[in-house]
């Protein structure tokens, strides 16, 4: 079985460990590194997965999954560079960081795959996009796709699209949570108890998402089916349009794409 070390077990690192365990992987085939001993103890207690240091991770693992913040990458690369063997597969989940950053800092020939996952990984419903670096062979990409395929859906994209993917599906769950939060507030405004409003909105979100995913029908058609002539929905849609919500979403996602690109540029050398 492939041994996987998650380097940096924060929110997405934990989601990956948890998702892989739920998908049937043995805790013995997983390990993680963390900066803080309390976090190590917490995760080991929760999942039965061992914490190790970077040298032990490099020695034992077939796949190193880098899940630190882009701003924390340099000290980790300093630790990895003298230790990584060129046949170890390095998978980066970091927003913005190009595969060529890893290729430049790690031993010549190290295969690197850049992945943008999202947190629904924790329930096996991730959307992950993968791009191979210069030394990533088809079998490396196949291995990464198999790993991520066990915790959700996977698509392959050119690396030039990864900043846009990050803005769409990497950050995407946050936009939906934000909308749900705002809609529950609307329920409160209308006098519905918070718990009831949450039930109404969350089940509507689940129903709408399932129709979108499984029905093969365009979102415009689905929305039109809800929007009766001179009815209630069109009154709400008019307000959304009047407040520029569509334009706000487009610009918000563009801003996220720009930030991803900026995070990558921070590590460029001439
Ligand atoms: N949170 C999300 O929804 C997503 C995050 N990502 C990417 O995943 C990466 C991690 O993001 P989060 O999990 O949200 O951040 P986080 O801050 O929750 O987790 C990062 C973890 O790395 C640890 N860490 C930092 N330097 C370390 C080192 N040298 N050795 C060991 N551990 C170290 C920190 O203590 C922290 O627990 C980022 O690069 C982000 O762009 C990608 C997709 C989705
Ligand atoms: O907000 C972030 O930077 C990370 C990357 C995608 C989702 N969360």
123 in the same domain as 189: no
pLDDT of residue 270: 54
DSSP H helices in the chain: 11-22, 37-47, 54-60, 73-80, 99-105, 138-149, 162-165, 172-189, 194-214, 219-226, 233-242, 245-265
Cα 24 to ligand 1 centroid, rounded to whole Å:
24
Mean pLDDT of 146-152: 96
Mean pLDDT of 125-146: 98
Q: Which domain, by its residues, includes 186?
A: 172-260
* Residues contacting residue 85 through CB under 8 Å, at least 6 positions apart: 58, 107
127 in the same domain as 39: yes
CATH of the domain at 231: 1.10.3730.10
Please give the share of the chain, as a percent, with pLDDT higher than 90. 97
Angle at 116 between CA 113 and CA 118, to 5 degrees: 140
pTM assigned to the model: 0.96
Residues that constitute the known binding site for NADP(+): 67-70
- pLDDT classification of 175: cutoffs 50, 70, 90: very high
Residue 270 falls inside a structural domain: no
Share the mean pLDDT of the chain.
97
Three-state SS for 113-182 is: EEEECCHHHHHCCEEEEEEECCCCCHHHHHHHHHHHHCCEEEEECCHHHHHHHHHHHHCHHHHHHHHHHH
Q: Which residue has its alpha carbon closest to ligand 2 atom 8?
A: 171
Q: Which residue has its alpha carbon closest to ligand 2 atom 5?
A: 95
Out of 11, 119, 167, 260, give the residue to mutate to test ligand 1, the one with the largest number of ligand atoms within 8 Å of its CB.
11
Tokens 């980790």 belong to which residue?
76
Atom number of ligand 2 nearest to Cα 116: 6
Residues with CB under 6 A from ligand 2: 95, 166, 170-171
Residue 266 falls inside a structural domain: no
Largest CA distance in the chain: 68
pLDDT of residue 269: 63
Question: Would you call 232 helix, strand, or coil by DSSP?
Answer: coil
Instruction: State ipTM.
Output: 0.99
128 CB under 6 A from ligand 1?
no
204 in the same domain as 177: yes
Residue 268 falls inside a structural domain: no
Measured N-to-C along each axis, helices 194-214 and 219-226 cross at an angle, to the nearest 10 degrees, of 130
Element containing residue 8 per DSSP (H, E): none
Cβ atoms of 93 and 118 closer than 8 Å = no
For residue 37, give both structure tokens: 């001993």
Residue 118 falls inside a structural domain: yes
pLDDT at 119 over 70: yes
Boundary of a domain, candidates 117, 134, 159 = 159
Give the total number of structural domains in the chain.
Answer: 2
Cβ atoms of 66 and 8 closer than 8 Å = yes
Mean pLDDT of 80-84: 96
CATH of the domain at 61: 3.40.50.720
- pLDDT classification of 268: cutoffs 50, 70, 90: confident
Residue 58 falls inside a structural domain: yes
* Cα–Cα dist 225/29, whole Å: 49
202 in the same domain as 71: no
Residues that constitute the known binding site: 67-70
pLDDT of residue 86: 86
- Tens digit of each residue's pLDDT (9 = 90 or more) over 5-38: 999 999 999 999 999 999 999 999 999 999 999 9
Question: Would you call 92 helix, strand, or coil by DSSP?
Answer: strand
pLDDT of residue 1: 84
67 CB under 6 A from ligand 1?
yes
Cβ atoms of 68 and 62 closer than 8 Å = no
Mean pLDDT of 66-92: 96
């Amino acid at each position: 079985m492939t041994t996987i070390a998650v380097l940096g077990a924060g929110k997405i690192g934990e989601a990956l460990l948890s998702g892989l365990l739920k998908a049937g992987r043995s805790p013995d085939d997983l390990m993680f590194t963390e900066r803080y001993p309390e976090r190590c103890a917490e995760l080991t207690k929760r999942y039965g997965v061992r914490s190790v240091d970077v040298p032990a991770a490099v020695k034992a693992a077939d796949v190193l999954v880098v899940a630190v913040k882009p701003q924390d990458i340099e000290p980790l690369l300093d630790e990895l560079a003298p230790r990584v063997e060129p046949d170890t597969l390095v998978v980066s989940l970091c927003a913005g960081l190009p595969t060529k950053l890893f290729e430049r800092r790690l031993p010549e020939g190290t295969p690197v795959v850049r992945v943008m996952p999202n947190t629904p990984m924790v329930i096996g419903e991730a959307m992950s996009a993968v791009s191979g670096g210069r030394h990533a062979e088809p079998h490396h990409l196949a291995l990464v796709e198999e790993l991520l395929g066990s915790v959700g859906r996977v698509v392959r994209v050119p690396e030039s699209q990864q900043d846009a993917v990050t803005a769409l599906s990497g950050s995407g769950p946050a936009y939906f949570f934000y909308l749900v939060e705002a809609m529950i507030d609307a329920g409160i405004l209308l006098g519905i108890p918070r718990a009831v409003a949450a039930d109404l909105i969350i089940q509507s979100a689940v129903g709408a998402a399932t129709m979108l995913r499984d029905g093969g029908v365009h979102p415009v058609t689905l929305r039109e089916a809800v929007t009766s002539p001179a009815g209630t929905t069109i009154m709400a849609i008019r307000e959304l349009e009047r407040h520029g919500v569509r334009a706000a979403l487009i610009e918000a996602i563009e801003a996220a794409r720009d930030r991803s690109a900026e995070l990558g540029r921070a590590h460029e050398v001439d």
